[in-house]
């Protein structure tokens, strides 16, 4: 029995020592600017780009072949997958984050939305200078694929300001709903 407890303790110590220490990175200004860029670039991806800074950056794009490196890729795949792979390479092999931003802004203006989000997601996952950055979930970027059209339509036309004013109106003028009648219902 003592041997079993000793072996169990040894196994526990070995298992506890093999747990890796996870380093936590505190968000600095550069990290927050990168995160803001990613959120703005996928905001309403089906609509034209709404942020003037990224529109200017995308339109001022000049292709410099020295900024990118190529890798062999087999040609025995479907067309869209090849295009997505090319777009991923366009993002992934950018020399630094500024070139990456320029490439993403250019692709956001000129590429298919689904392919853009797919390639951008892969690039953010694999690039070392994007470690810790996150993109919104796919159901937040493309809600029309996850909810029926009536729900999406109602959410788009929902006006929070009107709703909050209506609630305040109810509380002020329809106070019947908000009064406490427990005192009146008690027997004398």
Position 139 confidence tier, pLDDT thresholds 50, 70, 90: confident
Position 121 confidence tier, pLDDT thresholds 50, 70, 90: very high
Of 183 and 65, the one with more pLDDT: 183
Give pLDDT, residue 64.
Answer: 58
Q: The whole model's pTM is what? A: 0.57
- Nearest-CA neighbor of 67 among 25, 29, 98, 110? 98
Rg of the chain over Cα atoms, rounded to whole angstroms, equals: 27
Domain coordinates of the chain in residue numbers? 26-142
Class in CATH terms, 26-142: mainly alpha
Give pLDDT, residue 75.
Answer: 36
What average pLDDT does this structure show over 104-132? 88
What average pLDDT does this structure show over 8-29? 72
d(CA 146, CA 168): 33
């Amino acid at each position: 029995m003592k041997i079993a407890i000793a072996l169990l303790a040894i196994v526990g110590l070995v298992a506890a020592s093999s747990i890796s220490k996870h380093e936590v990175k505190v968000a600095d200004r550069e990290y927050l600017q990168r995160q803001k860029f990613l959120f703005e670039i996928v905001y309403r991806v089906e609509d034209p780009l709404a942020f003037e800074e990224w529109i200017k950056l995308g339109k001022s794009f000049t292709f410099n072949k020295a900024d990118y490196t190529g890798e062999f890729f087999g040609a025995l795949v479907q067309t869209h997958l090849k295009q997505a792979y090319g777009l991923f390479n366009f993002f992934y092999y950018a020399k630094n984050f500024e070139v990456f931003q320029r490439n993403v802004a250019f692709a956001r203006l000129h590429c298919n939305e689904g392919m853009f989000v797919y390639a951008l997601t892969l690039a953010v996952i694999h690039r070392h200078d994007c470690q810790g950055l996150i993109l919104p979930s796919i159901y937040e970027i493309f809600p029309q694929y996850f909810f029926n059209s009536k729900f999406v339509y109602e959410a788009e036309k929902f006006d929070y300001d009107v709703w909050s004013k209506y609630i305040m109106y109810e509380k002020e003028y329809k106070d019947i709903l908000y009064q406490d009648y427990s005192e009146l219902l008690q027997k004398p």
